């Protein structure tokens, strides 16, 4: 298949899909199951905002409005993170790339390192249902585990199943108005990547309206063909 990997190069997987599709949820599961590193540009940008760096200050208003942060900022952040030693284990890109310019820059970065994209996994969902998913989302501030009021509640209220912390957090951009802007940005600027990766022969589609565990099974089976 296109995207086949030589054993000497670390696997590179992309999770593609609109806000709320489950990219973060599935990336964390892939990280645990396959020992890959989750690289979420959303998380990296939120860390930059929290740190008050120049990049963070430039990104803050755009993120709050539900738009896409400029390619130069995102690429600089991603390039730095990809250069870190732990990425030699292989990576799952979550929320990146989001524009054709980002996808082309990623191809170049990987080619310089003798790597390539092994699979771009598209999480196919119904947009209307994404508002419900996002409105119910919260995350453990201590370890990053994601939860949902209805679909993935912690076993003990307000307590993280993974690390036991009582530090749940809801994102500032998880309100219905901003979610609609984020969905628009996805369809206008990110959805063209479906054709981009189809043309490269690496696009794989997963029905992401199923239960979380069923999606994990489907993605795990795809990932195994790459990571094995």
> Catalytic amino acids?
23, 98, 137, 171, 182
| Angle, CA of 192, 65 and 104, to the nearest 5° | 30
Q: Decide whether 13 or 45 has the Cβ nearer to ligand AP5.
A: 45
* Residues 1-20, mask of contacts with ligand AP5 (x by CB under 6 A): ----------------x-xx
| Interaction residues for ligand AP5, span 55-114 (CB under 6 A) | 62-63, 66-69, 74, 95-96, 98, 102
Strand duo 203-207 + 119-124: pairing? parallel
Residues 6+ apart with CB under 8 A from 116: 3, 5, 9, 12, 107, 110
Cβ at position 7, least distance to ligand AP5 in Å: 29
Q: Which of residues 20-49 bind ligand AP5 (CB under 6 A)?
A: 20-25, 40-42, 45
CB 178 → ligand AP5: shortest distance, Å?
Answer: 8
In the complex, minimum distance from the CB of residue 118 to ligand AP5, in angstroms, rounded to a whole number: 19
Cα–Cα distance measured from residue 224 to residue 174, given in angstroms and rounded to the nearest whole number: 33
Choice from 82, 105, 134, 203 touching ligand AP5 (CB under 6 A): 134
22 membership: H or E segment, kind and range: none
User: Angle of helix 100-112 relative to helix 192-199, nearest 10 degrees?
Assistant: 40
How many other C-beta atoms lie within 10 A of the C-beta of residue 148? Answer: 18
The tokens for 82 are 């990809």
CB of 115 to ligand AP5, least distance (A): 19
Residue 29 phi/psi, 5° resolution?
A: -70, -40
Residues 147-206 that bind ligand AP5 (CB under 6 A): 147-148, 151-152, 182
CB atoms within 10 A of CB 201: 10
Closer Cβ to ligand AP5, 29 or 203, answer by number = 29
* Interface contacts to ligand AP5, rule CB under 6 A: 17, 19-25, 40-42, 45, 62-63, 66-69, 74, 95-96, 98, 102, 133-134, 136-137, 146-148, 151-152, 182, 208, 211-212, 215
């Amino acid at each position: 298949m296109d995207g086949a990997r030589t054993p000497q190069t670390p696997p590179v997987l992309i999770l593609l899909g609109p806000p709320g599709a489950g990219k973060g949820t599935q990336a964390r599961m892939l990280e645990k199951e396959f020992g890959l590193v989750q690289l979420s540009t959303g998380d990296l940008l939120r860390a930059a905002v929290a740190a008050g760096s120049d990049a963070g200050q430039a990104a803050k208003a755009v993120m709050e409005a539900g738009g896409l942060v400029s390619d130069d900022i995102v690429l600089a952040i991603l390039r730095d993170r990809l250069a870190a030693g732990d990425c030699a284990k292989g990576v799952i890109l979550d929320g990146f790339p989001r524009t054709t310019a980002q996808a082309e820059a990623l191809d170049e970065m990987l080619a310089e390192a003798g790597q390539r994209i092994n699979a771009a996994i598209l999480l196919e969902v119904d947009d209307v249902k994404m508002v419900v998913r996002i409105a119910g989302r919260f995350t453990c501030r201590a370890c990053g585990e994601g939860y949902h009021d209805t679909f993935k509640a912690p076993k003990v209220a307000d307590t993280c199943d993974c690390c036991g912390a009582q530090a749940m957090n809801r994102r500032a951009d998880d309100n219905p108005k901003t979610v609609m802007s984020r969905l628009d940005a996805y369809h206008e600027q990110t959805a063209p990547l479906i054709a981009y990766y189809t043309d490269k022969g690496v696009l794989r589609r997963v029905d992401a309206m199923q239960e979380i565990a069923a999606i994990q099974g489907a993605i795990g089976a795809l990932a195994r063909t790459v990571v094995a």
